[in-house]
Amino acid sequence: MRFDVLTLFPEMFPGYVSQSILAKAIQRKIISIHTHDFRQWTTDKHHSVDDRPFGGGPGMVIKPEPVVECVESVRPLADQAGRIVLLTPQGRKLTQPVVEELATEERLILICGRYEGIDQRVVDLLEPDEISIGDYILNGGEVAAMVLIDAVLRLIPGVLGDAESHVDDSFSSGNRLLESAQYTRPREYRGLTVPDVLLSGNHQEVERWRAEQSLAKTKQRRADLLDDTN
């Protein structure tokens, strides 16, 4: 899967991209991530990417030309047209079903907004899938793009080794329960001990305990997940 990220801050990505699961997937050519600084598609001598909003108001708005023209230049860099995604707090919320849908694409072109927003003509011309990562405001779409990539990547065959397997992750299709508590050595730490059942060696009992814990935790913290209409 190929990710093209259009951003004014490409320098935010290399640190994230160097984390092990991602770096291995890139090395094995399962995925590739390409950042594009859309400031390079500005035409005026000051390379301005933003301007004041028509009608007045605070803040600045990203101009349409650099974004649209950057997408038009980047699109032919691969055979697949791909799906264009605009990261914006106005988008539909990124949930695991949306992540599963995005993971079926061979290519995603992610546009990271900034400032007060992006000129509406970008949306009208490119008709992107507008996605938000939650009900709070970030300074820009870059961190949201990393969240989206991180979540999608886990679903691409071959990206996770057995050790990181995602089959029983919370929120995957068919599992809408929070995970039960996990423990590793030591058996006792600052007076806190590991539940006996986990040390019992009885796999059936362990599974039963985990299922009960999972359900209790979900009821207590996220009862909304137990209602299929959500």
Q: Count of CB atoms within 10 A of residue 68's CB? A: 19
Restricted to residues 87-116, the positions that interact with ligand 6GU (CB under 6 A) are 87-89, 113
d(CA 109, CA 1): 11
Q: Per rule CB under 6 A, is residue 59 in the interface with ligand 6GU?
A: no
Is there binding between residue 138 and ligand 6GU (CB under 6 A)? yes
Alpha carbon 48 to its chain's center: 28
CB 206 within 8 A of CB 198: yes
Site string for ligand 6GU, 142-181 (x = CB under 6 A): --x-------------------------------------
Among the listed residues 107, 114, 154, 210, the single catalytic one is: 154
206: contact with ligand 6GU by CB under 6 A: no
Q: Quick one: which of 38, 141, 155, 178 contacts ligand 6GU (CB under 6 A)?
A: 141
228 as an active site residue: the answer is no
CB atoms within 10 A of CB 208: 12
Beta-bridged to residue 62, according to DSSP, are: 50, 118
In the list 133, 151, 155, 177, the residue contacting ligand 6GU (rule: CB under 6 A) is 133
Q: How many CB atoms lie within 10 A of CB 112?
A: 28
Specify whether 92 is catalytic.
no
144 or 177: whose CB is closer to ligand 6GU? 144
| Tokens standing for residue 115 | 């400032």
Q: Is beta strand 50-51 parallel, antiparallel or unpaired with respect to 61-62?
A: antiparallel
Tell me the C-alpha distance between 6 and 13, whole Å: 11
In the chain, where do the E strands start and end? 2-7, 32-37, 50-51, 61-62, 83-93, 107-112, 117-118, 129-132, 188-189, 192-193
Q: Per the residue annotation, which of 37, 75, 89, 222 is the catalytic one? A: 89
The answer to the question of residue 7 lying near ligand 6GU (CB under 6 A) is no
Of 45, 46, 137, 228, the one binding ligand 6GU (CB under 6 A) is: 137
64 lies in the site for ligand 6GU, by CB under 6 A: no
Active-site position among 169, 207, 212, 224: 169
154 is catalytic: yes
CA 59 from centre of chain: 26
Task: Report in angstroms how near the CB of residue 89 gets to ligand 6GU at its nearest.
Answer: 4
Main-chain dihedrals φ then ψ at residue 143, nearest 5 degrees? -65, -35
Residues 112-131 that bind ligand 6GU (CB under 6 A): 113
Instruction: Decide: is 12 part of the binding site for ligand 6GU (CB under 6 A).
Output: no
> Residues interacting with ligand 6GU, by CB under 6 A?
87-89, 113, 132-134, 136-138, 140-141, 144
Q: Give the residue numbers marked as catalytic.
A: 89, 116, 154, 169
